[in-house]
Structure 1
Amino acid sequence: MRRRTFAASLGAAAVAATAVPAAAHAKASGRCDDAYSWQNVVINGGGYVPGIVFNETEANLIYARTDIGGLYRWQEPTQTWKALLDWVGPDEWGYTGVVSVASDPVEPNRVYAAVGTYTNDWDPNNGAVLHSDDYGDTWGVAELPFKQGGNMPGRGMGERLAVDPADNAVVYLGTPNGSGLWRSVDHGRNWSEVEAFPNPGNFVQDPSGDYSDDNQGVIWIEFDQAGDRIFVGVADPADPLYVSEDRGQTWAPVPGATVLGAVGDNKTIPKQAAIDRANGHLFIVTSWDPGPYNGGPASGAGGALWRLDLATGEWTDATPAYSPNGRIPGFGGITVDRQRPGTLMAATENSWWPDEVIFRSTDSGATWETSWDYAGGARTDRFDMDSTGSEWLSFGGTDEGAAYAVKHGWMIDALAIDPFDSDRIMWGTGATIWGTEQLTTWDAQGPLVGDDGAALPVERFTVAVRAEGLEETSMQDIAAIGGTLVTAVGDLGGFVHTDVGRAGTQIRNPDWSTGTSVDFAALAPDVVVGTGNVHGTVDGHVAVSTDRGATWLTTARLEGVAGDGNGGIVGVSADGAVIVWSPGNGTTAPVYSTDLGQTWTPVEGLPAGAKVRADRVRASRWYAYFAGVFYTSGDGGRTFADTGATGLPPEGDVDFRAVPGKRGHLWLAGGNTPEPVDPVYGMWRSTDGGTSWKRVRDFDTADSVGFGKGRGRGYPAIYASGKAGGQNGIWRSTDEGRSWQRINDDAHQWAWTGKAISGDPQVYGRVYIATNGRGLIYGDIAD
């Protein structure tokens, strides 16, 4: 990993870009007369929400940030979220990793987002601060001379961005990896390092890898009532908290703050903070780990909660004395109630079994109550979890004693009470957002357990999903069958949709951690197959359905292929009789099955890692590709031979698809841009089963290609994600590739869209687009 440490002299200003361009259609050739409307195939959530921020001066103004899926704004009338960063294109895809968000308390129309997905070389670009004067509808970009980590460890800490309430032109940014504290004095347009700030942090939880070895740096910024004092939390167990009393000109360690740096023998850092301005208290939660993945240390507590009296400088350990889990492995989020001074809440992070614990205090942390407890050996709860509309949140499980199928969550770093409504709270998890508008019912309930250890009667309130409109899945593959949509999904396995407007049914057999590939039999579409990385040692990687995804059967485990990371790619013959699976471990050659995956036989003639596809017309015909070599099979996928084709990309991520209803018609997209040699990256087509290929010259680069219902009875419509005429976009051809039209616009780009694309076989013009963090997008020709 290349580390970057910047001296004070590198605190140069960054120039803001213009606002997001207005929507417009670009063309590779021909004319596009169809305007498109864009929506999500509904899953509701599906990814980690590390931050939820309520504006303190405008009611119902709420932002939710995600680690790879951009930023969202709450829409109170519809109780849904609106995506704000769909304009981000593939060249700056890292901008969809949102490190922090700040909503201006003086001019609520102003909002800022610190962006950048990885601090290592996985993201080729530096980070930026996005600034908006219209609630995030349009944005300017201030580039930074260092990287930021929206999808790195510690991304739930903060907030790292903060607006000075005494002078809202001043915005602060805490950064990782030695870059220190930064400041803008012109509403986020230009940034420079705060040279007087003395400590860039030094805490590295795990130095062993190029992902886990981030110095967490400067973590959060908080202002007192008048904005005269600025507090900054730093990832340095020996020196974790600083204050400025002269508007950021000079800085000094806060006396006594070393208490934040250890819990027992565990070094800890101040992960989050919240100020109760009415009572003059600064609350800070600490943890031994930046999160969001790990549980607590092997023994003992992993975090604490401290209260600093801002008038006297006195520190008080306000850590809850009791947890039903027996200990607190570390804290995630903390929040205070602006309407009820002295009321605050905090959450554990990664108490994996049986559940997270949410704590609530109404006396500034002197005493605490828990969201659930044990009574007579059984669990008793303050609220019921209602997953209606997102039933997949049970992950196929059932309640087992104290471990419920639908949990409070995990990775709870986002925890926020509405500053205008004490009854409303939202919290983010690794899969969704939960919320309620009945929170103060908690205080009327009293204890959950009596002195005799028996459960006390309480009137439960309801916590329900508040993620509608927020779609954060990483889509891996698409099978648009006609009336049914089957998808392979990162982290969630896969889904079957028969209604794109409702959350689909999660594929649970086998138990995929991540789905990697799906396919269906073109002439027998009730037969559907999929593959993915599986949990455990029992389930096979491949799943089979014979009723169009209504039910699924797992297949035999292939000897020598471990569960995680080896899903690979799977295909099924046009008649549904043969399945060919290419495991993803890179060492096991493809196998085939004629009994729905109950037994597997090695394929002859293909190397490990080959991508396989079935012809969509001839059941006996199969195709495969690996490292620039194209293969074909005429005996149902049992044996393959090199077609001798030349000119295809020898390396890079390459995919190809067979055309429905057209024997031997194939389209291939992918490659890479190696330097200094000329790139082999683009799109090719074959009409003779892969023996010869013709490059589609319209495309500079291309990543995915798929097919849907044609305009008439001729060739199917072709859809592609790529760059044509220097313009990145989603492209459509209705004349067999002779001309192409860009059907998306600059306001709808969704960062990277190259994993998979498919048209709909029954709806002309409809296209499904796999994104890496914005879920499955679909577009229809606008009325």
Structure 2
Amino acid sequence: MRRHRPRLMATAVTALTLAVTSFTAPASAAAPAAPRAAAYSWRNVQIAGGGFVPGIVFSRKERNLIYARTDIGGAYRWDQAARRWTPLLDWVGWDKWGCNGVISLAADPVDADRVYAAAGMYTNSWDPNNGAILRSADRGRTWQVTQLPFKLGGNMPGRGMGERLAVDPGDDRVLYFGAPEGNGLWRSTDRGATWSKVSAFPNPGNHSDDPSDSSGYGSHRPGVVWVTFDEGTATSGTPTRTIYAGVADKDNTVYRSTDAGASWQRVPGQPTGYIAHKGVLDAAGHALYIATSDTAGPYNGAKGDVWKYDTRASTWTRVSPVPSTSSDAYYGYSGLTIDRQHPNTLMVATQISWWPDVIFFRSIDAGQTWTRVWDWTSYPNRSLRYKLDVSAVPWLTFGQNPAPPEATPKLGWMTESVEIDPFSSDRMMYGTGATIYGTENLTQWDGGGQFTIKPMVTGLEETAVLDLVSPPSGAPLVSGLGDIGGFRHDDLNAVPAMMFVRPGFTSTTSLDYAENNPSVMVRAGDFTDSDRPNDSHVAFSTDGGANWFQGTEPGGVNNGGTIAASADGARFVWAPGDGGQPVVYSTGFGNSWAQSSGVPANARIESDRVNPRKFYAFSNGRLYVSTDGGQTFTGAASGLPASEHRPPAPTHRHSNDELRSAQLKAVPGHEGDIWLAGDTGLFHSTDSGATFTKLPSVAKAVNVGFGKAAPGRSYQAIYTVATIGGVTGVFRSDDTGQTWVRVNDDQHQYGNMGEALTGDPRVYGRVYLGTNGRGIVYGDTSG
């Protein structure tokens, strides 16, 4: 039994301790009266990764206990027996969606069962919630949450720095957290339940990559970005005396306390001109290593250094593999790690090196000399110390075939977290912009052999889902995704071989298929026009999405918008996403486009699922109907929900896209039957939008979709992400919306879910749900 230990001295904290609100993450919490719950099982459609992993944390207490954090997709724990990641934050719902942006994570070095996360996605004013510290005493199975009085930026610049959340190895009741945006350093003395600002800490950090950026993204100040303890000054049961902290300030980046946090001083003699992304301390060797860069990252960084601080002699030595003064230096450094079995062995990564690839450097003599993971031979050839095997996730080649010296797949990019297992010198994991890679024979490097790198990402799904279709034949699901385009999913439980290529979109914003000829598909999406001036933002398929070809596009199109295929696949109506770009239609596969009349620019487009000449458009609370294949539209019902206030859907877009159009869907097999989901509820029309009826039970709706009818029913099952009976969740109705059952539960809320939603026309009860950072999940009835 632990003895009670006194709190730290009051002089180290502000005079007034922050009053915080603590609540338990949903487990069996009481809820308002709502539709009954149906028995459902939920799992991911397999993609494997798909987004940036800025942090991997190995427990220093227990072998094989590993955590990963993502910028928009929550946190995960490694399951060694299954060799896969287990999601830990699926209980986060719409009210706390920002908690899926994890800016830092800490594993307790004393009690292996305890883990902490700092959560909050954006510091912009339009993010409605402040950040929070999440704490768990059962390895993330359940959590308690303490709200902070400021916002956190899990998807903001500097998110690869860290870790800014740290547990004291001497007294694990004590935690520190480095806050952004001028909020300084914070401390808890009760295992994260309450927090106080450390008033003695002198510098909250002044750096931002672009102070003039009015959006609030580039002007974000990462603040205090890492905290590390010198466990050589720790005594079990008392707070560690010597602590180091890194600050995003190019003139004052490293601070130290030698009295358990009561006072802090700038470490004298430190290097200036760059920001320390990482600070890693070797207590046995009495050395603090820092990896620096000239930006907060994670997308850029052109200069930096690696430094070693002798904590006894108080001297700094530059140990950069390539110093910033060299003409060969075009990158900063991050991804710093020490081999705890052999502390003189350390590794560091280029903070960003897009061309020709990331570079890892390794030293076995405490930074005196380094070797590279690849070397130039005779240009453009390179020799590699590694073999990269992506057979488990083949799409990581991105379907590319670049000319040397570039290669596919890349070794990585945005490699801010590189971690050697503290219990095994042979295991290393590192995060990239798309996956987690790892090796289990790393020390082959030192003997002149090649070590093998493979994806270690199974179970971690981090895509932002923008659209989903489930046709009545062919592949069960086709997806439109942010950042990696999308896939045809022939097998829900197998990683697809390749995303959409030729043409490939950075993000697929809209998908459709011809209801009566589902082999015909169309997709629209975004990419940078200057990179591919001859490509179109729309693509077509005549074999159910297996192969694609592009047509032409109207002038001035840069964004995908929404697109619809007629029921017979002979016509297409497209509303590009550019401001003011008119709606257009094509009578072939995009060979030419003509402007539609009578419909506002940028409307949301949907096709009737029976009548091939009928299309619908929705804009600013009004429905428009075309009965001549999209040539002309006529205004129909008005006074409908004009927009929906929602957090941004695309994965790493920097702009505020919170004002989104309501979702319009037409029902297969019923001409003129359409549903509209918006911020004031769910609406139904059976007369092609001439009139709508609001469903009285639905207070607010995010999306609506349809799937196979229940046994004995002729009308398709309806699925909606909505608020019904005071509860926001995923619901199903088998009787045209008269009654509803909830098909998710409080442990499966998936944060900002519902941008994409559809049922399966072949499997009753199956629903596909798009999330913003947790990939595609699907539910099957188990009752």
Q: CA deviation at 1:665?
A: 0.6
Alignment of 1:262-411 (within 5 A): 262=273, 268-296=274-302, 302-321=303-322, 326-377=328-379, 378-411=381-414
Aligned to 2:426, what secondary structure does the other structure show? coil
**CA–CA separation in structure 2 for the residues paired with 1:666 and 1:509:** 34
Q: CA deviation at 1:27?
A: 6.7
1:724-759, CA deviations, whole angstroms, 9 ceiling, x for partnerless residues? 111010011011110011111100000011312100
From 436, 447, 458, the equivalent of 1:468 is 458
From 573, 582, 585, the equivalent of 1:589 is 582
Taking a change above 3 Å as real, the CA distance of residues 587 and 11 of structure 1, as seen in their structure-2 partners, is: farther
Aligned to 1:248: 261
Deviates further, 762-771 or 242-251: 242-251
Aligned to 2:519, what secondary structure does the other structure show? coil
Q: CA deviation at 1:23?
A: 8.6
Q: CA deviation at 1:8?
A: 4.7
Establish whether residue 669 from structure 1 lines up as the match of residue 677 from structure 2: yes
Aligned AA (1:501)? N
Aligned to 2:742: 742
Aligned to 2:23: 17
From 116, 136, 161, the equivalent of 2:120 is 116
**CA–CA separation in structure 2 for the residues paired with 1:26 and 1:618:** 42
Establish whether residue 479 from structure 1 lines up as the match of residue 469 from structure 2: yes
Aligned AA (1:764)? Y
From 503, 506, 519, the equivalent of 2:495 is 503
Alignment of 1:127-142 (within 5 A): 127-142=131-146
Aligned to 1:202: 206
From 534, 538, 542, the equivalent of 1:538 is 534
Aligned to 2:483: 491
Establish whether residue 765 from structure 1 lines up as the match of residue 765 from structure 2: yes
Alpha-carbon RMSD across the aligned residues, in angstroms, is: 1.6
**CA–CA separation in structure 2 for the residues paired with 1:27 and 1:555:** 52
Aligned to 1:689: 688
Aligned to 2:437: 434
Taking a change above 3 Å as real, the CA distance of residues 10 and 228 of structure 1, as seen in their structure-2 partners, is: closer
Aligned to 2:727: 727
Deviates further, 386-395 or 91-100: 386-395
Aligned to 1:560: 556
Aligned length: 737
Deviates further, 80-89 or 370-379: 370-379
Aligned to 1:706: 705
Aligned AA (2:52)? Y
Q: CA deviation at 1:251?
A: 1.2
From 397, 408, 417, the equivalent of 1:414 is 417
* Residues 13 and 192 in structure 1, CA contact (< 8 A), matched pair in contact too: no
Aligned to 1:611: 604
* Residues 27 and 740 in structure 1, CA contact (< 8 A), matched pair in contact too: no
Q: CA deviation at 1:719?
A: 0.3
Alignment of 1:90-239 (within 5 A): 90-209=94-213, 210-225=216-231, 226=234, 227-239=240-252
Establish whether residue 654 from structure 1 lines up as the match of residue 658 from structure 2: no
Aligned to 2:447: 444
Aligned to 1:779: 779
Taking a change above 3 Å as real, the CA distance of residues 604 and 352 of structure 1, as seen in their structure-2 partners, is: same
Taking a change above 3 Å as real, the CA distance of residues 325 and 399 of structure 1, as seen in their structure-2 partners, is: farther
**CA–CA separation in structure 2 for the residues paired with 1:72 and 1:232:** 26
**CA–CA separation in structure 1 for the residues paired with 2:161 and 2:397:** 27
Alignment of 1:621-660 (within 5 A): 621-643=614-636, 645-652=637-644, 653-660=661-668
- Using the size of structure 1 for normalisation, the TM-score is 0.92
Q: CA deviation at 1:534?
A: 2.4
**CA–CA separation in structure 1 for the residues paired with 2:32 and 2:668:** 28
Deviates further, 167-176 or 754-763: 754-763
Aligned to 1:717: 717
* Residues 402 and 408 in structure 2, CA contact (< 8 A), matched pair in contact too: yes
Taking a change above 3 Å as real, the CA distance of residues 193 and 626 of structure 1, as seen in their structure-2 partners, is: same
* Residues 622 and 639 in structure 2, CA contact (< 8 A), matched pair in contact too: no
**CA–CA separation in structure 1 for the residues paired with 2:132 and 2:175:** 14
* Residues 567 and 609 in structure 2, CA contact (< 8 A), matched pair in contact too: yes
**CA–CA separation in structure 2 for the residues paired with 1:215 and 1:327:** 26
**CA–CA separation in structure 2 for the residues paired with 1:292 and 1:197:** 26
* Residues 769 and 776 in structure 2, CA contact (< 8 A), matched pair in contact too: yes
1:50-97, CA deviations, whole angstroms, 9 ceiling, x for partnerless residues? 000000010001000000000000000111000000000101100000
Aligned to 2:571: 578
**CA–CA separation in structure 2 for the residues paired with 1:273 and 1:614:** 56
Deviates further, 490-499 or 533-542: 533-542
* Residues 24 and 745 in structure 1, CA contact (< 8 A), matched pair in contact too: no
* Residues 126 and 145 in structure 1, CA contact (< 8 A), matched pair in contact too: yes
1:597-644, CA deviations, whole angstroms, 9 ceiling, x for partnerless residues? 12111112111111111111111111111111111111112211112x
Q: CA deviation at 1:22?
A: 3.2
1:310-347, CA deviations, whole angstroms, 9 ceiling, x for partnerless residues? 11111110001389993241112100000112000000
Aligned to 1:585, what secondary structure does the other structure show? coil
Aligned AA (1:132)? S
- Using the size of structure 2 for normalisation, the TM-score is 0.92
Aligned to 1:675: none
Taking a change above 3 Å as real, the CA distance of residues 19 and 654 of structure 1, as seen in their structure-2 partners, is: closer
* Residues 322 and 328 in structure 2, CA contact (< 8 A), matched pair in contact too: no
Aligned AA (1:373)? D
**CA–CA separation in structure 2 for the residues paired with 1:122 and 1:467:** 32
**CA–CA separation in structure 1 for the residues paired with 2:29 and 2:371:** 51
Aligned to 1:523: 516
Aligned to 1:745, what secondary structure does the other structure show? coil
Q: CA deviation at 1:24?
A: 9.1
Aligned to 1:4: none
Taking a change above 3 Å as real, the CA distance of residues 354 and 10 of structure 1, as seen in their structure-2 partners, is: farther
Aligned to 1:677: none
* Residues 20 and 140 in structure 1, CA contact (< 8 A), matched pair in contact too: no
* Residues 471 and 513 in structure 2, CA contact (< 8 A), matched pair in contact too: yes
Aligned to 1:249, what secondary structure does the other structure show? coil
* Residues 537 and 557 in structure 2, CA contact (< 8 A), matched pair in contact too: no
Identity percentage of aligned residues: 49
Q: CA deviation at 1:651?
A: 3.5
1:559-585, CA deviations, whole angstroms, 9 ceiling, x for partnerless residues? 1213xxx11001000000001110000
Aligned AA (1:20)? P
Aligned AA (2:748)? H
**CA–CA separation in structure 2 for the residues paired with 1:168 and 1:13:** 22
* Residues 540 and 558 in structure 1, CA contact (< 8 A), matched pair in contact too: no
